[in-house]
Each structure stands twice: as structure tokens, then as C-alpha cells.
């Protein structure tokens, strides 16, 4: 039996082996200590619920649920042997993250109560499995050396960036605190994940570019180095593409925005990595170009199914909201919060804030939608209080720009105009 108070990665176990039953000593983490359990992959609940399909789903799911119950009840050393060496377990977990219905999926809720119950049981078990895999110290006796833990989870792909994003979007709404601890621990023990995130951000940006391209739109700067393809002029747009393509693009956008938002909300440290790639300005430009086109197409196209048309509209509205909230998370975590917490780099944070906001001035529709949810004037007044040396010329320019954006959008604001509000703040400050 493994000895206590020694990390699992340094433990050895002696157990009988072979037909003669002779004892042998093995490292506690060894492939021969893994059990041949044969995990099956997850398949989502069937949309068309014939009895046979339901039965097949339930049988599959029952196998996984029973196997995960067994796994979670294993002692620490056996659990890690299984997790590290059982390829079928990793495929099973990965398949769940890929295919489990998200709350946002068009047909997320299984109709049958038996299927819904089974889905809930699986949902919890998969989360607990990932939680245990993200925990290097289970108790005083059961732990792994942090550096070795970092290597194990990274080298065996127990966690990777897509899996972390899937976990955020599947579980982040209701389990944000636990998930925050998990992801923070993963990144702390294995900083290579920051490098992977760094590598993943261009692909995420590419997703936005692909959506633009499919809509016959192109970002300046995104592909400026590439010559325009000859067939580019004949490309379809949101108005002319097939209805199915439009639906797919809207679903893709909706999922992408929610997924990015969930990661940044749960793990704000990722904001810096995204920002180092200029993600925010790309997002704002994307919004400016794509949103009006999508809105126009959904409003004007002739949908056979009006409920689908309404659903598409809500998804675009949801995506807009999430994009604005993503922008606010950046502003909050890279600028405002460090300033309020009295960071040493207040000046650079203030500069970052002004740069971000000044860049938004070009994207009028985005700026108005941002300001509607997160008042720029409130943030500026906050800065003025925290950093009295704030350049008034720049802040006034910024607030005038916000006002101009509202005017050019032809929309009525519900709050007082920024200039008036800023003057109020300034006057108050003068009195104080």
C-alpha cells in the first residue's frame, strides 16, 4: 500500500502479480495499475426521440455514469493511474465536452424525463471528474508535487485550451467560483497554458474574420497584406447566402461570444493575453461591420418559419450583449480594477483606458451600445477621482466623441449626456 505524507509521484506500491502471485514493486503511478474499464464516448440526446434511439442514448449514458461513479470512488492513487493512462476515459470526457448540449443550443433540453435525469447525472459526474483532475492536493495524505502535477495535466492533455473553454461555457454560469479555482490552479501550476492561450487567440480572432468573410465583409488590416481574391466580388452576403448558412453563422457567432465571455468572466487573467493580441479593437471593428449586416438580413429576409427569425434576432441581440460585456471585462480587469486597487502602474492603466476608449470612437455603433450598458462617463469620473492628473483635454475629447456617436446613431440615451454629467462631476470635485 502507498505510504502516507509522500507525494503520489514519489510513492511505490507492492502488489501480487502474475499466476504465481509473486510480489512486485511498481511506482504508484504506473500504466499496469490502470484497470481495463473501456469507457465509451458520449453521444448527445437524440433530437428525434424514437424509442430505440432513446434506449440507445440511455444505455450509453448509463455506462458512462456508472463508470464515472466508479472512477470518483477510487482511491487517490488509482484515480490518477486511470486518468493518466486510460485513453478511453480521456476520449469519453472529451466527447462530453464537445457534444453535451449547451444552454444556448437551439434544442438543448431533452423532452423525456428519463433522458433529462440521466443528462443531469452525467453533467455533474463529468464536472466532478474534471474538478478532481484539477486538484493536486486532495488531503494531507493524498497529493501530487505541484510541479509534477503541472507536467501530468499538460503532457497528457488532461486539460487544454478548448477543454477549458468548454468547461467555462458548460459550467461557468452556476459554478463560477469552483471553476475559477480550478482554472487558476491549472494555470498556476502549469504556466505553459498561458503560452497555449497565446497561441489560441489568433485562431479565435480568425473565427471572427471567417464570419466576416462569409458575409462578404472584410476587416481593414486583417487581410490587408493579402491581395483580394478575384471571386471576392461575387461572394454571398448575409442577405444572399442560403438560410441554413445564415442560421449556422448566427449560431457560431452566438456560441463564440458566449464562450469567450465565460472564459474572461471566470478567469480574468486571460484578458491580458487576449489584449496583447489587440483582440478588443478587432472585436469592436467586427461588431461595427457585422452586426448591422446581420440585423438587416434577419429583419428583411423572408423566413418561412417566423419563430426561427425571432430566434435569430435574439441570438444576434445576445451576441451583441456578450461582445459589449467582453469589452467591459477587458476595461474592468486591465484598467479600472488595478486603478481602484491602487496598483503601482496607475498611470499606464489610465493610459490603457484612454487608448481603448479612443480606439472605440471609430466604431460608433459599438461605442453607443457599450455606453448604453456601461456608461463611459461613469468610468471617466471614476478615473478622475482616482487619478487627479487625468488629462482633461483627452477625457473631454473622449466624452465628446461618445456624444457624437449617439448623435450619429440617431438614438436617444436614457441617461444624462456625458458632457453634462462630466461637468457635474468636475463641479462636485471643485466644491470638494
Partner 1 sequence: MAPPRLTGALRSFSNVSKQDYTEDIYDLKSKRLKRQELLSKEGLTWQKITQFFGQHLEKGEQRIATEELKKILQAARQIVGTDFGQETVESAAVFLFRTFYGTDQVGHEETRAIKHMFGPFPCSAADVSCAAVGRLVSPMDETQVEAFVKAETTPRVPDRASFGRNIAFSFDSYALDYLENLPWGDEDGHPGHGFSLDF
**Is 60 one of the binding residues for partner 1 (CB under 8 A)?**
yes
Between 122 and 336, name the residue whose CB sits nearer to partner 1.
122
Triad 79, 3, 139: Cα angle to 5°: 55
Which among 23, 47, 166, 157 is positioned nearest to 110, based on CA atoms? 47
E-only strand ranges, 266-398: none
Q: Is 271 helix (H, G, I), strand (E, B) or coil?
A: helix
Q: Segment contacting partner 1 (CB under 8 A): 3-11, 36-44, 391-399, 418-426?
A: 36-44
Q: How far is the CB of 103 from partner 1 (least distance, A)?
A: 3
Among 22, 25, 36, 431, binds partner 1 (CB under 8 A): 36
Cα–Cα distance, 155 to 203 (Å, whole number): 22
What is the C-alpha separation between 236 and 211, in angstroms, rounded? 12
**253-282 binders of partner 1 (CB under 8 A):** 254-256, 258-260, 262
Distance in Å, CB of 16 to partner 1, minimum: 15
Where does this chain touch partner 1 (CB under 8 A) — which range of 40-48, 180-188, 233-241, 267-275? Answer: 40-48
Grid cell locating 404: 457624437
How many distinct helices (H) and strands (E) make up the chain?
Answer: 18, 2
Cell (9 digits) for 279: 483582440
Secondary structure letter of residue 231 according to DSSP: G
Which among 23-31, 99-107, 231-239, 332-340 is the span making contact with partner 1, rule CB under 8 A?
Answer: 99-107
Q: Name the H helices within 361-417.
A: 364-373, 376-386, 392-409
Distances (CA, A) of 275 to 152, 279, 339: 29, 5, 17
Residue 178 or 425: the one with the smaller Cβ distance to partner 1 is 178
Interactions with partner 1, residue window 106-135 (CB under 8 A): 106, 108, 120, 123-124, 127-128, 131-132
With CB under 8 A as the contact rule, the residue among 200, 346, 376, 398 that binds partner 1 is 200
- Minimum Å gap between C-beta 361 and partner 1 is 21
Which triple of cell numbers denotes residue 353? 483606458
Q: How many CB atoms lie within 10 A of CB 127?
A: 19
Interaction residues for partner 1, span 292-311 (CB under 8 A): 295-296, 298-299, 309-310
Rounded-to-integer distance, Cα 39 and Cα 17, Å? 24
- Using CB under 8 A, pick the residue from 15, 117, 141, 199 that binds partner 1: 199
CB of 105 to partner 1, least distance (A): 6
In the complex with partner 1, the residue whose CB is nearer, 160 or 351, is 160
CB of 51 to partner 1, least distance (A): 13
Site for partner 1 in 316-375 (CB under 8 A): 317-318, 320-322
Scanning residues 157 to 196, which ones bind partner 1 (CB under 8 A)?
157, 160-163, 165-166, 169-175, 178, 196
User: Measured from the CB of residue 320, what is the shortest distance to partner 1 in angstroms?
Assistant: 7
- Name which of residues 220 to 249 contact partner 1 (CB under 8 A): 248
Mark the segment that binds partner 1 (CB under 8 A) among 35-43, 274-282, 399-407, 424-432.
35-43
> Residue count at the site for partner 1 (CB under 8 A)?
88
Stretch that binds partner 1, among 2-10, 57-65, 219-227, 336-344 (CB under 8 A): 57-65
What dihedral angle (degrees, nearest 10) is formed by the CA atoms of 152, 153, 158, 162? -150
C-alpha–C-alpha distance, residues 178 and 152, integer Å: 21
Rounded to 5 degrees, φ, ψ at 396 are -65, -40
Residue of 136, 214, 282, 315 that binds partner 1 (CB under 8 A): 315
Q: Which of 138, 117, 99, 106 is nearest to 58 (CA)?
A: 117
Polymer length of the chain: 432
Amino acid at each position: 500500500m502507498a505510504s502516507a505524507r509522500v507525494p503520489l509521484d514519489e510513492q511505490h506500491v507492492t502488489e501480487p502479480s502474475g499466476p504465481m502471485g509473486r510480489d512486485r514493486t511498481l511506482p504508484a503511478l504506473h500504466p499496469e495499475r490502470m484497470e481495463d474499464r473501456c469507457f465509451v464516448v458520449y453521444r448527445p440526446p437524440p433530437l428525434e426521440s424514437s424509442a430505440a434511439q432513446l434506449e440507445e442514448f440511455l444505455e450509453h449514458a448509463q455506462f458512462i455514469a456508472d463508470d464515472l461513479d466508479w472512477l470518483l470512488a477510487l482511491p487517490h492513487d488509482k484515480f490518477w493511474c486511470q486518468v493518466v493512462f486510460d485513453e478511453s476515459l480521456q476520449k469519453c470526457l472529451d466527447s462530453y465536452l464537445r457534444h453535451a448540449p449547451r444552454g444556448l443550443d437551439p434544442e438543448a433540453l431533452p423532452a423525456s424525463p428519463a433522458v433529462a435525469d440521466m443528462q443531469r447525472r452525467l453533467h455533474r459526474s463529468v464536472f466532478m471528474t474534471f474538478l478532481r483532475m484539477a486538484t493536486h492536493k486532495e488531503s494531507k495524505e493524498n497529493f501530487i508535487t505541484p510541479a509534477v502535477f503541472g507536467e501530468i495535466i499538460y503532457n497528457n492533455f488532461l486539460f487544454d485550451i478548448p477543454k477549458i473553454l468548454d468547461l467555462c461555457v458548460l459550467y461557468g454560469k452556476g459554478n463560477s467560483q469552483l471553476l475559477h479555482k480550478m482554472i487558476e490552479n491549472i494555470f498556476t501550476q502549469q504556466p505553459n497554458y498561458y503560452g497555449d492561450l497565446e497561441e489560441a487567440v489568433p485562431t479565435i480572432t480568425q473565427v471572427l474574420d471567417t464570419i466576416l468573410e462569409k458575409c462578404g465583409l472584410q476587416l481593414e488590416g486583417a487581410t490587408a497584406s493579402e491581395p483580394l481574391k478575384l471571386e471576392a466580388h461575387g461572394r454571398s452576403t448575409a442577405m444572399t447566402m442560403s438560410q441554413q448558412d445564415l442560421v449556422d453563422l448566427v449560431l457560431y457567432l452566438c456560441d463564440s461570444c458566449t464562450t469567450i465571455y465565460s472564459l474572461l468572466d471566470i478567469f480574468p487573467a486571460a484578458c491580458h493575453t487576449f489584449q496583447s493580441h489587440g483582440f478588443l479593437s478587432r472585436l469592436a471593428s467586427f461588431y461595427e461591420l457585422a452586426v448591422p449586416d446581420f440585423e438587416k438580413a434577419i429583419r428583411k429576409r423572408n423566413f418561412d418559419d417566423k419563430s426561427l427569425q425571432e430566434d435569430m434576432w435574439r441570438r444576434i441581440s445576445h451576441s451583441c450583449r456578450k461582445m459589449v460585456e467582453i469589452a467591459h471585462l477587458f476595461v474592468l480587469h486591465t484598467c479600472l480594477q488595478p486603478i481602484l486597487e491602487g496598483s503601482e502602474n496607475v498611470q499606464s492603466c489610465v493610459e490603457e483606458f484612454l487608448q481603448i476608449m479612443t480606439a472605440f470612437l471609430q466604431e460608433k455603433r459599438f461605442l453607443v451600445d457599450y455606453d448604453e450598458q456601461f456608461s463611459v462617463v461613469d468610468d471617466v469620473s471614476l478615473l478622475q477621482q482616482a487619478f487627479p492628473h487625468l488629462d482633461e483635454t483627452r477625457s473631454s475629447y473622449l466624452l465628446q466623441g461618445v456624444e457624437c456617436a449617439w448623435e450619429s446613431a440617431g438614438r436617444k440615451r436614457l441617461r444624462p449626456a456625458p458632457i453634462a454629467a462630466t461637468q457635474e462631476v468636475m463641479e462636485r470635485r471643485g466644491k470638494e
